[in-house]
Amino acid sequence: MKAAFLTGYGGNEVVAFGELPEPEVKDGDVLIDVFAAGVNPVELAMREGNYRQLLPFTFPQVPGFDVSGVVIRAPEDSGFKAGDAVFARLPGNAVGAYAERVAVPAHLLARKPSTLSHTEAASLPTVALTAWQAFLERVHLKPGERVLIQAGAGGVGTFAIAFAKHLGAHVTATASTANQEFLKELGVDQAVDYSRERFEDFGPYDVVYDGVCGELTERAILSLKPGGRYVGLVRLADARAFMSLGLPEAMAKAASAGNARFEALAAEHGVAFHGLITRSDGEQLQEIAALAQAGVIEPVVSKVFPLDKLDDAYAALATGRTRGKLVIEVQAGR
């Protein structure tokens, strides 16, 4: 089968395209004919080898988490059958989206909304599950609450804006000057231009959903009301997140020890601190599919690349200026 793959850890020079053997289908797996695959920034860090201890690669390694396609073959008791249009987020330890075929554990699959193309469906799994798990499992966002979404114009942000509006929140989002109109088109109540405004001046917030983190984390925590909740997405995973990947509690605590100063600051300020790692989950994805089917969520795909141009997609993503999502067309015209 044709695939885009990595030949080792490194920069874009390790991204290759060619023929690879068909995937191994294990008990409980559904074999999928992949039509489209969504691109996510974490893949750049995985390509560099930054996750090699937690999620080691074996080369040639097909990367990529988010797929949409059609079932070729499924176990009888899986609830799926040949010909079903499906989408999924693959498990972190078994990525492989940028290939014509992939084997997916049945419990991670959901039926593709008929209103979406495969390209649109492939743009959703990671960003949708991230917002779902942050808003519903972690911070319990309630109607009428004020939420700040950092990086509102990117993949994570565009989905989170629509989902937070659906949950009845008042949404403030940050972006550069060039994306202010775009934020308004997405339906934010307040667009903040981070190049000339301070998000603190539009708070205080009940919840911060932070797709930027780094030097903004401390300011974001302090912009919360007492009783507020912070959820960080970039290199801030907490012990609960590591445990959800299967790490024992003691190791999970050690792995998240770098957050201690933010956890202390949050406690001092009377707010909760969360650092999320997205979990693949077919049941949640099916609920997200229902929202897309109903038109509550509209995917934002800004650019589609062919399978042999994964390196170009990674280069575009690395600029940090992507609007919405980038998607790879794995099998053209399907």
Give residues in contact with ligand NAP (CB under 6 A): 40-42, 126-127, 130, 150-151, 153-157, 174-176, 178-179, 194, 211-212, 233-234, 276-278, 317, 320-323
Q: Closer to ligand NAP at the Cβ: 160 or 167?
A: 160
Beta strands 301-306 and 170-175 are unpaired
Instruction: Quote the least distance from Cβ 26 to ligand NAP, whole Å.
Output: 25
> How many whole angstroms separate alpha carbon 112 and alpha carbon 70?
9
85 contacts 49 by C-beta, under 8 angstroms: no
Q: How far is the CB of 231 from ligand NAP (least distance, A)?
A: 9
Report which residue's Cβ sits closest to ligand NAP: 154
- In whole angstroms, the minimum distance from the beta carbon of 232 to ligand NAP comes to 8
3-state secondary structure of 271: coil
Q: Which is nearer to ligand NAP, 74 or 241 (CB)?
A: 241
Look up residue 253 and give its amino acid. K
Q: Give least dist CB 12 to ligand NAP, A.
A: 16
Phi, psi of 66 (to 5 degrees): -110, 120
Residues 269 and 222 sit within 8 Å (Cβ to Cβ): yes
Rounded-to-integer distance, Cα 52 and Cα 45, Å: 10
Residue placing its CB nearer to ligand NAP in the complex, 174 or 259: 174
Question: Measured from the CB atom, is 34 or 236 closer to ligand NAP?
Answer: 236
Nearer to ligand NAP, 139 or 276 (CB): 276
DSSP at 23: P
Q: How far is the CB of 41 from ligand NAP (least distance, A)?
A: 4
| 4's tokens | 């885009």
- Residue 119 or 278 having the CB closest to ligand NAP: 278
Residue 127 Cβ, how far from ligand NAP at the closest point, in Å? 6
Alpha-carbon distance of 290 to 168, in angstroms, equals 18
Closest distance between ligand NAP and the C-beta of residue 9, in Å? Answer: 17
Q: How far is the CB of 2 from ligand NAP (least distance, A)?
A: 26
41 or 96, CB closer to ligand NAP? 41
What are the Cα distances from residue 216, in Å, to 208, 212, 262?
11, 7, 11
Q: Which is nearer to ligand NAP, 42 or 164 (CB)?
A: 42
Rounded distance, CA 23 to CA 194, Å? Answer: 45
What gap in Å lies between CA 35 and CA 300, rounded to an integer? 18
Tell me how far the alpha carbon of residue 200 is from its chain's centroid. 26
d(CA 26, CA 31): 9
* Overall residue count recorded for the chain in this entry: 334
Q: How far apart are CA 239 and CA 250, in angstroms?
A: 9
